[in-house]
Structure 1
Amino acid sequence: MKTILIADDDDYIRSLVKDILMREGYKVLVAENGAAALETLKTELCDLAVVDIMMPVMDGYELTSEIRKIYDLPIILLTAKSQIEDKEKGFESGTDDYLIKPFEPKELIFRVNALLRRYGNASETNINLGSLYINKKGYEVKINHKIFMLPLKEFELLTFLATHPNQVFSRGHLIEKIWGLDFEGDERTVDVHIKRLRERFASIEKDFVIKTIRGVGYSLEVL
């Protein structure tokens, strides 16, 4: 199930958009301003964000720009503004699409579905993160031109973390994504695989690190 984050200070719009998306089968998270949305993204894996421009604390332009610095997910700016200058500013901040209020529910769904398909296709490509290069189809990891052939679960774990850099994932979340819901082992399996990954790359000069977030889980951070 895809997860969509809605950032809007208007209770009515938040509820309206949430209802539309939930009826389409999406999981929906809500935030009342940009700062709250960034806090949500630190702990929740989201596939798309619907962002209102006019918000207190942090407006939609700034939020879009901040998301672009850290996360790789599509963004739809939702606004009552229709001037070309406003659209230009939105696209310059990094939005993928722009929807003007009032809007038809079907149009929102069309745009959400189209962006998720586009990003879904893009996610099948290789990962290039600083000195780290991951060939998804060839199951090959390269760091500074040195090639590593990893066991499958180590490869999948590293790839998942590298696909979502600087995001923190709990051990339970990683078990679900890498080993599946029917996995009968315990969460220490994640710790063992993280330890092996660190040992493999210990002597290699690199610009990323797999960090332990005490009491939470793990994050791959770009230095």
Structure 2
Amino acid sequence: MEVTDIDTLGKKIKELRNALGLSQEILAEQIEISLKSIQRYESDKSRPDTYALVKLATYFDVSTDYLLGLLAIKEDLKEKSNKVLQNGKYNELYSWYLRCKNNIEVDQSAVYYWIHFGDDGMIGGQTEWVGWADEDYKIEIRRLRPVIPVKAIEGCTKVFGRPLLINEEKDVVVFRLFGGHAIVKQEICERFLPEFLEDFIGTTPE
């Protein structure tokens, strides 16, 4: 029987792939699943097993529940922006967000920082101690420190999930919109995220 449900798992995989501007071949290569499998998933001729389902969900930064039709995409993303789906298509910002999440094109000549923007509006990052803010040596002054971007991406992915890679102004827009962890080029941070370069003041742990 022909599948006509517009909300099938295969339809969602295809829409997410198109949102990133990927061919089936490139997606198969990126997540290390055969091209034939991707073709069968998208045509709803077969369903991914648990391993493939997790691979797809991780790559597209959605939940497996969303792919399986158990959760709406706007619930999955906590609807941090206007509708992620507009007229049945993923909007430009979400598409760009996915590109940033999967980008590995690091500028080898640039300095990078690891920063974090939480749902509560709190900001932070990988910092280093630079001094004391009081005479009792209880209040630290810390400042962002440079990181090796490839290593930082690997470390963040293991602990918090894959970070955004911020190399240009448009990347900053999706970072402010969706939040989370990011590896940001120094010059972009200085121009568009200067608040992260201010000293962080905090008490030392007892």
Superposed pair shares fold, TM > 0.5: no
Bigger Rg, structure 1 or 2:
2
For normalisation by structure 2, the TM-score amounts to: 0.29
TM-score (norm 1): 0.28
1 or 2, which has the higher strand percentage? 1
Q: Which structure is higher in RCO with an 8 Å CA cutoff and minimum separation 6? A: 2
